Structure 1
Amino acid sequence: MPVTAVTTDPEALTMTLTAEFDAPQERLWEAFTDPRQLERFWGPPGYPATFTAFDPVVGGHAKYHMTSPQGEKFYATWEFLEIDGPRSLSVLDSFADENGAVREEMPTSRMTITFEPTATGSRLESITRFTSAEALQQSIDMGMVEGTEMAFNQVDRVLQGLRDYAAGKGTQTELLDDTHVRITRLIDGPIDLVWRAHQEPELLKQWMLGPDGWRLDVCEVDPSVGGRYRYEWAPVDGAEGERFGFDGETLLSEAPRRAVTTEHMTGTDFPSTLNDLNLDEEDGATLITLLIEYPDKETRDMVLATGMTDGMEASYARLERELVSA
């Protein structure tokens, strides 16, 4: 992970983050001053950012919002105070309403990000200064420290490019915290087809089979918000195992980039998980990122111990082979 430290200082009223990257200073500067690149890492997992305005000149403004898995939007605005590319930039960072007006009841801070070359790439330091100890504590209580660290730890995939970041690595599973797991898999194919493959029953039945010897016997999908789905797998050709399935509801659908669903094991009283699917395309390849939120650490560990990653890799390899390469 590129982030090396995140600290808060109640006396200086600051939060400081440092990170190291295997990319030159100019490339890091580009990632932080291009809104399309910023959108791919600025929000922490589960809260991706969308920039609707971006005017990087002194006195200019940027406007953006983060969208929760349930579809809630949280708005913010920057006023650019200093710009010294590719060395540093400073902004006044404020919470906003949906029209971009600053919310005076929420803390406003000054964020200064510096970029320095190193022998192996570049170093970033972000210092956020608050107006009072109360404002700093309010931000800490809202999860700013954890959220900022997770967001900055996503910069690597933008700097490297999706193919360098994920090609040839298969399905990767990362433990983000006690209840969140991030799964990534690069598919060498266009985003529209990968999206359809996750939404249309006739396509799902061709690839989402898990290990060899199983078939997706029941596949009922209503991908609209509020719609429900049901999957049921069965062994074939004498394979061992009993039928099992999952059902759930679509909470958010933003074709062809994001879909959020609940997932419950049919016929059990196990609690549901929250599955946040995100797709990013670059140079004809699509990165699948699935953020799974479990109810607790015990459930997370129990599910991972079933060999979930291996089963998903078998399915994703089939997706790439049977649909994308057909």
Structure 2
Amino acid sequence: MTVKSFDKDLENLTLTLTAEFPAPVDKVWQLWADPRRLERWWGPPSYPTTFVEYDLTPGGDARYFMTGPEGDKHHGYWRISTVEPPAGLEFTEGFTHADGTPDDAMPSMNVRVRLVAREGGTRMEMRSQFDSRAQMEQMFAMGVEEGLTTAVGQMDALLTEL
């Protein structure tokens, strides 16, 4: 299994996913940097993702939607703050309405991704920071642990194509 741990820290309002891949950092980075590759793993297998905008530069935005098994669409965004290829990136992630405007009733989080070379491959750490415990609990009620774990679990197969 790619995902090694999924830790939630209610005191510090963070959740951290750690995964390891038998591939070099630059290949893992390609799965973040190329929106067509990102679409193939960002989201659980039963909720494929389509990126309609993708500007991976500081200050840039990414907009996407996931399509559920019943054809329902769930829209989201990233507001990119830091990009350090191939070591990582940081962004604010949240939900939007279909027209792209932020959905303030839904949680948002700051996400930091770090890719570090290790013997035999790459260690990836994704740390999400929430503004409140209520936001964090709302994400867990929505199934973030299972969703993110299964999403990241799709990366191994994609890395064999590079």
TM bracket (short chain): over 0.9
| Contiguous gaps of at least 5 residues in structure 1 | 163-326
**2:80 aligned residue:** 80
1:76-132 C-alpha deviation (Å, 9 max, x unpaired) = 000001111111100100100112111111111001000000110110000000000
Separation in structure 2 between the aligned mates of residue 16 and residue 45 of structure 1, nearest angstrom: 21
Partner of 1:65: 65
The residue number in structure 2 matching 1:149 is: 149
Which residue identity does 1:90 align to in structure 2?
E
Distance 1:68 1:108 in 2: 20
Map 1:172-183; keep pairs closer than 5 Å. none
What is the deviation of 1:73? 0.2
Query: Residue 76 of structure 2 aligns to which amino acid in structure 1?
Result: A
Give the AA of the match of 2:59: G
Structure 1 counterpart of 2:159: 159
Aligned length: 162
1:212-254 deviation line (CA, Å, top 9, x unaligned): xxxxxxxxxxxxxxxxxxxxxxxxxxxxxxxxxxxxxxxxxxx
* CA-to-aligned-CA distance 1:158-179 (integer Å, 9 cap, x gap): 11129xxxxxxxxxxxxxxxxx
Trace 1:295-314 onto structure 2 (pairs within 5 A): none
Q: Which aligned pairs between 1:17-96 and structure 2 lie closer than 5 A?
A: 17-96=17-96
CA distance in 2 between partners of 1:150 and 1:4 (Å): 12
Give the corresponding residue for 2:132: 132
Distance 2:54 2:149 in 1: 23
How far off its partner does 1:49 sit? 0.5
Work out the CA distance in 1 between the residues paired with 2:49 and 2:126: 19
Q: What TM-score do the two structures reach when normalised by structure 1?
A: 0.49
Tell me which amino acid in the other structure corresponds to 2:102.
V
Structure 2 counterpart of 1:11, one-letter code: E
State the 4+ residue runs in structure 1 displaced beyond 2 angstroms: none
Percent identity between the aligned chains? Answer: 38
TM-score normalised according to structure 2 size: 0.98
Letter aligned with residue 108 of structure 1:
S
Give the Cα separation in 1 of the matches to 2:44 and 2:91: 19
Structure 2 gap segments, 5+ residues each: none
In the aligned structure 1, how far is the partner of 2:139 from the partner of 2:88? Answer: 23
Letter in 1 for 2:3: V
Post-superposition offset of 1:7: 1.1
Q: RMSD of the alignment, in Å?
A: 0.9
Correspondence for 2:12: 12
Task: Report SS of the residue matched to 2:100.
Answer: coil
